[in-house]
């Protein structure tokens, strides 16, 4: 049931419970995300999968009343250790959201550079090179290289989302968290993002929350099924989709609920 321990264990949640006030929305989840793999987190709406994702870079605690118990280990060190600075953590664990969130007053170039600037890198040539690298990684460079100074809002929704991915990649994180990144995109935009996931897993450990079972099956190495805040099952993707161990998983992937 657990993924085989063949790779270096980049990210691991241990008995993680996420709460709003006294209400637990994610309960006692333990899971490994092996390095350089894509793990899809699936489950019906409101099952806590987005909250779980936001626990992996300590975004959950920014929500009103949000707190956690348990551990999240990044390279073996607990990110909830009192000495850990969540700001530094988030520079190692980048995040992309459901809706594209470009900074509307900034140019395409500056949007990507914003991710660098907060990381304190300022030399002009350095920034330009890093912006180009991030845009190439996000497969957006060829479409925007001639208009880097124009507004980020001039891009299509799919391009905006790839811009946000570029912005998240610019500081060179180790882990990339994607929270339903294609939920607001058309099929063509969705396809580009999915291809991107495939290319990026060579360099990053990716966790992607998705509503879309086909998407999970297409792009992930491992799939985790959440239901009512609990991790029901996690396995290699083809195993989970062909012979799920839990009855609820089977019911969900065959479309009997959710």
Partner 1 sequence: MTVLPLERLAAPDPRRQVLRGVNAGERAYRGILTVLAVLLPLLLVALVSELVASAWPAIRRFGLPFLWTSVWDPVAGVFGAAPMIFGTLASSLIALLLAVPLALGVAIFLTEFAPAWLRQPVAFLVELLAAIPSVVYGLWGIFVLIPFLRAYVVPPLRAALGWTPFFDGVFYGNSLLAGGMILAIMIVPYIAAVSREVLLAVPPSQREAAFGMGATRWEAVWTAVVPYGRAGLIGAVILGLGRALGETMAVTMLIGNRHDIGLSVLQPAYTMAAAIANEFSEATTDLYLSALFEVGLVLFVITVVVNAAARLLIWRVARGTAVGSRAL
**Shortest Å distance, C-beta 165 to partner 1:** 11
Minimum Å gap between C-beta 236 and partner 1 is 29
- Closest approach, Cβ 71 to partner 1, in A, equals 21
**What are the C-alpha distances in Å from 95 to residues 53, 102, 171, 196, 251?**
9, 13, 11, 15, 30
For 5, 72, 171, 203, the CA distances from 174, given in Å and listed in that order, are 19, 15, 10, 8
Cα–Cα distance, 121 to 223 (Å, whole number): 36
Q: Which is nearer to partner 1, 17 or 151 (CB)?
A: 151
Closer residue to partner 1, CB minimum distance, 75 or 238: 75
Torsion over CA of 193, 199, 202 and 206, rounded to 10 degrees?
10
Shortest Cβ 151–partner 1 spacing (Å): 5
CA dihedral 234, 175, 80, 7 (to 10 degrees): 60
- Dihedral-angle region of residue 76 (phi above 0 means left; psi in -120 to 50 means alpha; beta otherwise): left
3 vs 173 by CB, closer to partner 1: 173
Q: How far apart are CA 164 and CA 138, in angstroms?
A: 9
Judged on CB neighbours under 10 Å (0-12, 13-18, 19+), 8 is: exposed
Give the nearer residue to partner 1 in terms of CB position, either 74 or 253. Answer: 74
- Which residues sit at the interface with partner 1, rule CB under 8 A? 57, 59, 62, 64, 87-91, 94-97, 99, 101, 103-106, 114-115, 117-119, 151, 153, 164, 167-168, 170-171
Which residue number, 129 or 153, has a Cβ lying nearer to partner 1? 153
- Whether residue 219 contacts residue 206, with contact meaning beta carbons closer than 8 Å, is answered with no
CB of 125 to partner 1, least distance (A): 21
What's the min distance (Å) between Cβ of 169 and partner 1?
10
Nearer to partner 1, 36 or 99 (CB): 99
116 or 234: CB nearest partner 1: 116
Distance CA(28)–CA(230), nearest Å, equals: 7
The whole-angstrom separation of Cα 7 and Cα 37 is 9
Shortest Å, Cβ 30 to partner 1? 24
Element (H, E) at 177: strand 175-179
């Amino acid at each position: 049931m657990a993924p085989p321990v063949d790779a270096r264990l980049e990210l691991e949640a241990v008995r993680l419970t996420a709460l709003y006030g006294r209400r637990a929305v994610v309960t006692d989840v333990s899971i490994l995300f092996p390095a350089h793999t894509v793990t899809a987190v699936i489950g019906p709406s409101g099952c806590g999968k987005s909250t779980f994702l936001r626990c992996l870079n300590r975004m959950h605690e920014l929500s009103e009343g949000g707190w956690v118990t348990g551990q999240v280990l990044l390279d073996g060190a607990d990110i909830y250790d009192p000495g850990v600075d969540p700001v530094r953590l988030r520079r190692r664990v980048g995040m992309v959201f459901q809706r594209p969130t470009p900074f509307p007053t900034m140019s395409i170039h500056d949007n990507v550079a914003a991710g660098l600037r907060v990381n304190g890198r300022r030399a002009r040539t350095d920034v330009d090179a890093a912006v180009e690298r991030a845009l190439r990684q996000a497969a957006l460079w060829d479409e925007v290289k001639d208009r880097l100074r124009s507004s980020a809002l001039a891009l299509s929704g799919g391009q905006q989302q790839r811009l946000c991915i570029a912005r998240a990649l610019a500081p060179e994180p180790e882990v990339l968290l994607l929270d339903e990144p294609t939920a607001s995109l058309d099929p063509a935009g969705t396809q580009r993002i999915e291809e991107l996931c495939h290319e990026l897993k060579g360099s990053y450990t990716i966790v992607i929350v998705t509503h879309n079972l086909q998407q999970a099956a297409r792009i992930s190495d491992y799939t985790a099924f959440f239901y009512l805040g609990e991790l029901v099952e996690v396995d290699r993707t083809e195993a989970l989709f062909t012979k799920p161990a839990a009855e609820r998983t089977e019911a969900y992937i065959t479309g009997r609920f959710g």
